[in-house]
Homo-oligomer: A and B are copies of this chain.
């Protein structure tokens, strides 16, 4: 079993890089804070006897050899970047859980057949650079390296320039080495495990998700002198479309979700009728047909609002990540590991995107969820108990050993 104290210590240590006053983290991808936690990853894994390297998109790998040099590695990983007001567990326990497994293997001198590799994927959150899971997506062949390098943050800085700025570009071309299997430990980020008293979620797949950028263009005018009927108010039209996002999700209850997370208003002056509004839309459901139906409903609403309000509405597709099924043999390995450890478990579909969703396209993959308080994530108050995180890492260790024996 893994050393729960050392794992919790690692959580406290990494929580220093980008710590916020409210006890959360602000460690956006490829910032100075990200550079610091990457250096910590290299130091820590090297000290555990692993060979550490970085690929051309900043993905970090730490490998220990197995008994059979002809076999590809089994990878354990997740990401160390966070949301602007993120927590100390999202992604992080997947990487630190892998490090805890490395530590356990080293202390018990256990040699697996396959090499074991811990991975820290670049820009999973998608907050600084959309879409999410960008570098694991390139690893899996979903995006090209050029596509990734040209993504821009809101200030216009490209992903490629940001990689360079923090010195995170390695020599191995992204995706150049193969994997035998991939396992990712993560907090659930939702309320189900906690509500049902489960410690382990055996993740059967990831729901479908689509992201859009919407631009509403009207006409700037004076807030005091422009009669209501003569306005082309981009914000009034946008506000109707924002409320439509929620209504469309509710119309596909209970599983569908729809979110407007980001808004920019121009010129953003209190006595100017806004001439332009940009906002984002995020639609998700376990069934791809439902996501598509939500998109169609939104496009229809956008046409109606544009006509009625005398504005134009442009909808740009930013991301389309269809629903992903995980590998049945690995799912069973996780279930069995939980059972052996006496941990209450249930199967669950992930509401969030994860690097595992892309890696699953080319490698047998699954995930292990542990509960987080109140299902709260993407929030500085995100929290998980030391016991649950340790339980998840123990299931990760056992699942690795089972995968190694398959």
Contacts and interface: CB of A to CB of B under 8 A. Distances in A.
Interface in A221-236: 221-228, 230, 233, 235-236
A20 to B, nearest CB: 11
A261 B257 contact: no
Given A130-B270, A243-B243, A280-B270, A379 B221 contact: yes
Nearest to A352: B224
A42 interface: no
A190 interface: yes
Nearest to A191: B230
Given A260-B235, A268-B263, A226 B83 contact: no
Interface in A83-132: 83-85, 125-127, 130, 132
Given A126-B271, A220-B85, A263-B268, A236 B227 contact: no
Contact of A262 (B253, B254, B269, B376): B269
A185 interface: no
A5 to B, nearest CB: 29
A6 interface: no
A246 interface: yes
A284 B224 contact: yes
Which of A83, A223, A226, A236 has the most chain B CB atoms inside 10 A of its CB? A223
Interface of A: 83-85, 125-127, 130, 132, 188-191, 207, 209, 211, 219-228, 230, 233, 235-236, 239-240, 242-243, 246, 249-250, 253-254, 256-263, 265-275, 280, 282, 284, 350-353, 375-380
Contacts of A126: 270-271
17 contacts: A84-B269, A84-B272, A85-B220, A190-B222, A190-B225, A219-B376, A221-B375, A221-B378, A222-B379, A223-B257, A228-B249, A228-B250, A228-B256, A259-B273, A261-B272, A262-B265, A273-B378
Contacts of A132: 271
A227 B257 contact: yes
Nearest to A318: B270
Contacts of A254: 227
Contact of A378 (B271, B282, B284, B352): B271
A219 B260 contact: no
Contacts of A225: 188-190, 350-352, 375, 377
Which of A132, A230, A263, A272 has the most chain B CB atoms inside 10 A of its CB? A272
A377 B271 contact: no
Contacts of A266: 85
A271 B377 CA distance: 11
Nearest to A376: B221
A406 B220 CA distance: 42
A351 B224 contact: yes
A85 B207 CA distance: 43
B351 A222 contact: yes
B259 A223 contact: yes
